[in-house]
Amino acid sequence: MILIKTQQEIDLIRESCRIVAETLELMRKHVKPGVSTKELDKIAEEHILSRGGRPAFKGYSQAGAYPFPASICASVNEEVVHGIPTNRKLVSGDIISVDVGVQKNGFYGDGATTIAVGEIDPKVRQLLDVTEKSLYLGLEEAKENNHVQDISFAIQSYVEEHSFSIVRELTGHGVGKFLHESPAVPNFGRKGLGAKLRKGMTIAVEPMVNMGRKEVAFLDDGWTVITKDKKPSAHFEHTIAVNNGKAEILTVL
């Protein structure tokens, strides 16, 4: 069932989303060669708690996996999503996708960005730029009376036009009263298909784009997803509210 939110509920979701946006901005400031992903996790958790929020990912479990042990997902290079923070130190040339979820006052926000560590290869920079641009092209279609796959088609078209690959196994999703709600929001599809978008829906749109082939593998830790060909992957995400004009991006400062 797709949950339609009242304006009051959207305002509460916006509070959580602002903390997400603040945390991602902190990550951009602290990502540099020599920092560990566990250090980034500590910085993120402390900020979320200081703002009266709760890290939504910490302790979260799905599909029988053991509870996620950290406050952020920190996915480096070929790790697509759900990377678990460790003592691994970043080096120049890496990229890191940071995914942040926050719950405050019973409502959730969710967002992600991919950050370059020092100087990166120009082709990898293009991967980041194309993935981020595809997100915003998808959001242009996230308006009342469009369909979910209008978003999907816009993302897929732009990504494949630039010879990158869309991950099929993982999608965006509804978000707000729960961390994951209906509908699923795939990053590939055909115009006019999927659930009709209605004013008051809140969804997380999150293209996951690979430099090489689209196939992914799931590691034995029960969480981390990597590209099968070990080539880099990028991930950008916003939580938005659907209205009759254009999508309102909630994960902004």
Structure token pair of residue 185: 């929001």
Domain regions of the chain by residue span: 7-249
pLDDT, position 65: 76
Classify strands 95-104 and 107-116 as parallel, antiparallel or unpaired: antiparallel
Distance CA 14, CA 222 (A): 30
Structure token pair of residue 21: 């946006």
pLDDT, position 95: 98
Long-range contacts of 154-157 (CB under 8 A, 24+ apart): 155/187, 155/188, 155/205, 155/207, 156/187, 156/188, 156/189
pLDDT, position 186: 98
Residue that has been written with the tokens 């080096």 in this structure: 91
Backbone angles phi, psi at 206, to 5 degrees: -150, 85
Classify strands 165-166 and 95-104 as parallel, antiparallel or unpaired: unpaired
| Residue 12 amino acid letter | L
Tens-level pLDDT at each residue, the chain (253 residues)? 999 999 999 999 999 999 999 999 999 999 999 999 999 999 999 999 999 999 999 999 977 779 999 999 999 999 999 999 999 999 999 999 999 999 999 999 999 999 999 999 999 999 999 999 999 999 999 999 999 999 999 999 999 999 999 999 999 999 999 999 999 999 999 999 999 999 999 999 999 999 999 999 999 999 999 999 999 999 999 999 998 788 999 999 9
Instruction: Output the CA torsion 72→74→75→76 (10° steps).
Output: 170
pLDDT, position 158: 98
pLDDT, position 70: 98
pLDDT, position 246: 86
Work out the end-to-end distance of the chain between its first and last CA atoms, rounded to an integer number of angstroms.
Answer: 30
- Is residue 33 a contact partner of residue 90, using CB atoms and an 8 Å limit? yes
Q: What is the CATH number of domain 7-249?
A: 3.90.230.10
pLDDT, position 243: 87
Distances (CA, A) of 244 to 134, 143, 146: 21, 6, 10
- Is residue 53 a contact partner of residue 16, using CB atoms and an 8 Å limit? yes
